[in-house]
Structure 1
Amino acid sequence: MGIRRKAREAALQFLFQEDFKLEENGHSRENLQERFAGFCTMYQVNRQARPYALTLLTGVVESRQQVDDLIGQAASNWRLSRLAATDRNILRLAGWEMMQDNDVPDQVAINEAVEIAKRFGSKESPSFINGVLDAVKTVLRS
């Protein structure tokens, strides 16, 4: 497993954990770096994966409304709040990567999200994630 996959999985696990600790306001920007450092220590996150995981987390937290709006457009029949926390956070991470138009091609972000969904999601998660992210790609690139 590559470093970026480990980073994506660590970011997913952190967001999942935070979903159950936070209020309705969503993920907090306050002390994000310190909270993630504590998470990394507690769960022995690979040291090489930490910087990219923190980049993902910072991006998702700071752009959460934009990412959620994008996913909402793509998943028109689904409210984000009604999705399983795992699926919602996988979509947020991959959606943010796709929005950034950085060195991660859309198809790589989608494939990584599907593989992570196979590991952490339900039986239906991979195909659902694939369909929504394909629609995200269409919205972004049109």
Structure 2
Amino acid sequence: MAEGPKTQMPARRKARKRALDVLYEADVRSLPPVEVLANYLERIAAPRPEHLPYAVSLVEGVAGHKDRIDELIASYAEGWTLERMPVIDRNLARIAVHELLYVDEIDDAVAISEAVELAKQMSTDDSPRFLNGVLGRIAEYATR
């Protein structure tokens, strides 16, 4: 049985995509991410995907550190406010910054390249370059 490209996506990328779905919905609807997450989890039938715990940890981590994460993004996104950023970019940046600062087992380069890859698939033509620049500057700051 041949598997399509969607099933070939690495588990952590699937987790990031799920976390993005939840954070995007929370952002657009102005709801707390953990509330949207609870509703999201209720809709997922058993057996639950193996990557789901990492997606949950990303949403909870972004929600728990949102003020610090948003402060860093705003500081390093030269000429851009959080409100002006496309919703997808803003939330991809939040996920990546959470990984850069709080998830030790993810290399900085991986966190950045995953955000850039998802931006290529889901956002504007300028988004990958924009995110790469902002996240690169934050990663430099974080390793000092």
- Normalising by structure 1, we get a TM-score of 0.87
Give, in angstroms, the shift of residue 97 of structure 1: 0.3
Once residues 127 and 44 of structure 2 are traced to their aligned partners in structure 1, the CA distance between those partners, rounded to angstroms, is 26
Q: Which amino acid aligns with 1:63?
A: H
Are the aligned partners of 1:6 and 1:46 in contact in 2 as well (CA < 8 Å)?
no
Give, in angstroms, the shift of residue 86 of structure 1: 0.3
1:114 paired residue number: 116
C-alpha RMSD of the superposition: 2.0
Are the aligned partners of 1:91 and 1:129 in contact in 2 as well (CA < 8 Å)?
yes
1:134 paired residue number: 136
- Aligned residue pairs total 136
Once residues 39 and 131 of structure 1 are traced to their aligned partners in structure 2, the CA distance between those partners, rounded to angstroms, is 36
Give, in angstroms, the shift of residue 33 of structure 1: 4.9
Matching of residue 21 in structure 1 with residue 25 in structure 2: no
Give, in angstroms, the shift of residue 34 of structure 1: 2.0
Once residues 71 and 65 of structure 1 are traced to their aligned partners in structure 2, the CA distance between those partners, rounded to angstroms, is 10
Unmatched tracts of structure 1, length 5 or more = none
- Normalising by structure 2, we get a TM-score of 0.86
State which of 90, 93, 111 in structure 2 corresponds to 1:91. Answer: 93
User: Which aligned runs of 4 or more in structure 1 are off by greater than 4 angstroms?
Assistant: none
Are the aligned partners of 1:14 and 1:39 in contact in 2 as well (CA < 8 Å)?
no
Matching of residue 2 in structure 1 with residue 4 in structure 2: no
2:42 paired residue number: 38
Please say which structure displays the higher CA radius of gyration. Answer: 2
